[in-house]
């Protein structure tokens, strides 16, 4: 059975239209998200909830919106942050590196502070048990022949 060319072309056309509509919907969704983020950022700038002065904050919010519209603004995933932490820890001396990696992974770590407050403080408590003191030899009495309980005068 041979298909009619018109039927094939119509099917391809419909498929192409469906693809374009779904692609445009994805772009519209990204644009809506970018605009929503911009409005939130702008509100934070106007309310003084930003760590920047108002002019700088508004300029950064506008630049972020522009980058998002061009598809250049993206959230980094956890692997990028983990890689950056590894690079920072590798710059430390060998003795400090394992503690740094443990601290950056969040294992047994308390995190406080904020970037806007001047920095994030990560505190890890490591308990090292002291080695037992060396065994000491028994003390020899000063007067070996003296009976017990009597003291020299």
Domains of the chain by residue range: 5-69, 78-124
pTM of the complete model beyond 0.75: no
**51 vs 114: CA distance, rounded Å:** 10
Residues 6+ apart with CB under 8 A from 132: none
- The pLDDT tens digits for 29-60 are 556 687 888 888 888 888 888 778 888 888 98
Q: What span, in angstroms and rounded, lies between the C-alpha atoms of 140 and 153?
A: 20
What is the β-pairing status of strands 119-124 and 109-114?
Answer: antiparallel
- Nearest to 6, CA basis, from 16, 21, 18, 14: 14
Q: Which range in 49-53, 91-95, 115-119, 124-128 is most confidently predicted, on average pLDDT?
A: 91-95
The residue ranges of DSSP E strands in 34-129, in sequence order, are: 109-114, 119-124
Q: Under a CB-based contact definition with an 8 Å cutoff, are residues 95 and 128 in contact?
A: no
| DSSP secondary structure code for residue 115 in this structure | T
The average confidence (pLDDT) of the chain is: 77
């Amino acid at each position: 059975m041979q298909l009619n060319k018109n039927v094939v072309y119509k099917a391809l056309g419909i498929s192409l239209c469906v693809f374009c509509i779904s692609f445009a919907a994805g772009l519209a969704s990204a644009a809506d998200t970018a605009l929503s983020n911009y409005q939130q950022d702008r509100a934070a700038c106007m309310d003084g909830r930003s760590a920047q002065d108002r002019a700088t904050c508004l300029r950064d919010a506008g630049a972020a919106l522009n980058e998002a519209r061009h598809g250049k603004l993206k959230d980094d995933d956890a692997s990028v942050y983990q890689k950056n932490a590894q690079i920072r820890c590798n710059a430390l001396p060998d003795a400090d590196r394992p503690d740094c990696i443990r601290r950056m992974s969040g294992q047994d770590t308390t995190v406080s502070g904020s970037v806007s407050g001047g920095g994030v403080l990560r505190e890890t408590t490591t308990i090292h048990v002291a080695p037992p003191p060396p065994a000491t030899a028994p003390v020899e009495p000063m007067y070996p022949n003296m009976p017990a309980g009597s003291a020299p005068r």
